[in-house]
């Protein structure tokens, strides 16, 4: 036999496999109708375990591949059954109620809470998203969440991740705990400078203040300053600039924006001190209740899986079954526990797209912890 003969065999097997797959999915659909009529759950874990055990026993040295194939096949069957049953849940009802009409326009004004003081990078994001907004500067991330949850403001703006230093864990931790939703995001090009009072030279700097994210984004430069320079995290980059302007410490400096330096009367000691020039921070807009505007193309969730081999794979296979692009997957310790982890997941999709609501319902149903953060566009 030559290669063409083998290919003909494969083509014939694939045709038979497709016919068998379609027959299987047809029967799975009929089973879904029966389960819906008799109010039975979609997942029968014991039956799936029995099937996979039998597959492994009969597969010889192909055990691993056969297990993977049949596990995927059963996941596809469950997804198809879920799409047919479409049992309403409170989450799905909340999402459907939050979807606005095609002519809805994101507001350009409102009461907006941001962390820090005048000159913060979040202010740049706020001015871009809400050009006619009324800004309230609050001392930290928690106070922004408090203001949004208590409806003292319409929206809050928070940094959620940086292109060179990763996720802002403090914000994600609060997103786990608080009842707020993301409605929009934007990316801001972050250009850090080392700022000090007029007359202070680089050699005279003894202390550098900034937010921990900015410190991490400028780690190479700070390392070059040597061990004699103290680096002290504060709540915000603009707050660091304000502190330095009001300090009597002769060698104090701040890492902040050029605009913050001008605002507080500081001079640039060194510009562009980031580890990489391509330094962007993504900011999100949060509000008390979810709203999905036209053009929303990113769904964000936080979830935990069962503590067993393959649990995360089961989640990813559900996403793969819908051919969705996952643009973020990151693990982090779960708030309030010692060793359990959650996953931050962003999907390139909309709740209007076929299968997305069913996926969210399935994740909510099967994950020990699940939090829908919102469906929103990035501008």
Which part of the chain is CATH 3.40.190.10?
92-189+280-376, 193-271
CATH for 193-271, options being 3.40.190.10, 3.40.50.720, 3.30.470.20, 1.10.1510.10 = 3.40.190.10
- Is domain 92-189+280-376 classified as CATH 3.40.190.10? yes
Active-site residue numbers? 281, 283
Cα diameter, the chain: 87
**SS3 of 331, please?**
strand
Write out the DSSP string of 24-59. HHHHHHHHHHHHHHTT--S--HHHHHHHHHHHHHHS
Residues of the chain with CATH 1.20.59.10: 3-87
User: 376, 185 in Cβ contact below 8 A?
Assistant: yes
Alpha helices in the chain (DSSP H): 3-37, 45-58, 63-85, 90-98, 121-129, 141-149, 169-177, 212-217, 219-225, 237-246, 258-263, 311-321, 356-366
The verdict on pTM exceeding 0.85 is no
| Tens digits of pLDDT across the chain (379 residues) | 788 888 999 999 999 999 999 999 999 989 988 888 888 878 788 888 899 999 999 999 999 999 889 988 888 888 788 777 766 678 889 999 999 999 999 999 999 999 989 999 999 999 999 999 999 999 999 999 999 999 999 999 999 999 988 899 999 999 999 999 999 999 999 999 999 999 999 999 999 999 999 999 999 999 999 999 999 999 899 999 999 999 999 999 999 999 999 999 999 999 999 999 889 999 999 999 999 999 999 999 999 988 877 788 888 888 888 889 999 999 988 776 655 889 999 999 999 998 898 889 888 888 889 999 999 999 8
The answer to whether 313 touches 359, Cβ cutoff 8 Å, is no
Torsion sign over Cα 154, 118, 138, 195: positive
Q: Per CATH, the architecture of 3-87 is what?
A: Up-down Bundle (1.20)
Q: What's the rounded Cα separation, in Å, for the pair 377 and 221?
A: 35
- Is-contact 211 234, C-beta < 8 A? yes
């Amino acid at each position: 036999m030559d290669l063409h003969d083998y290919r003909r065999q494969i083509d014939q097997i694939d045709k038979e496999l497709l016919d068998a797959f379609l027959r299987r999915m047809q029967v799975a659909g009929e089973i879904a109708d029966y389960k819906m009529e008799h109010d039975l759950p979609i997942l029968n874990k014991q039956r799936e375990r029995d099937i996979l055990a039998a597959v492994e026993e009969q597969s010889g040295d192909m055990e691993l591949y056969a297990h993977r194939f049949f596990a995927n096949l059963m996941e596809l069957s469950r997804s198809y059954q879920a799409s047919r049953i479409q049992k309403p849940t409170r989450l799905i009802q909340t999402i459907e109620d939050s979807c606005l009409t095609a002519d809805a326009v994101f507001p350009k004004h409102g009461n907006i809470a941001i962390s820090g003081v005048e000159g913060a990078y979040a202010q740049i994001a706020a001015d871009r998203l809400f050009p006619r907004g009324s800004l309230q500067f609050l001392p930290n991330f928690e106070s922004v969440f408090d203001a949004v949850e208590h409806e003292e403001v319409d929206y809050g703006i928070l940094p959620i991740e940086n292109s060179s230093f990763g996720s802002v864990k403090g914000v994600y931790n609060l997103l786990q705990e608080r009842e707020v939703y993301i409605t929009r995001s934007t990316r801001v090009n972050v250009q850090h400078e080392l700022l000090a009072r007029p007359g202070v030279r680089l050699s005279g700097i003894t202390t550098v203040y900034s937010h921990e994210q900015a410190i991490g984004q400028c780690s190479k430069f700070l390392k070059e300053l040597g061990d004699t320079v103290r680096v002290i995290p504060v709540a915000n980059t603009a707050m660091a600039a304000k502190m330095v302007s009001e300090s009597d410490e002769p060698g104090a400096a701040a890492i902040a924006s050029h605009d913050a330096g001008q605002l507080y009367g500081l001079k640039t000691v060194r510009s562009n001190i980031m580890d990489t020039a391509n330094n962007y921070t993504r900011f999100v807009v949060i509000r008390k209740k979810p709203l999905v505007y036209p053009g929303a193309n990113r769904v964000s969730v936080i979830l935990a899986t069962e503590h067993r081999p393959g649990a995360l794979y089961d989640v990813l296979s559900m996403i793969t079954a819908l051919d969705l692009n996952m643009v973020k997957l990151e693990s982090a310790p779960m708030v309030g526990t010692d060793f359990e982890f959650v996953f931050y997941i962003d999907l390139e999709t909309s709740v209007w797209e076929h299968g997305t609501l069913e996926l969210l319902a399935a994740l909510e149903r099967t994950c020990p912890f699940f939090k829908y953060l919102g469906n929103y566009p990035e501008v």
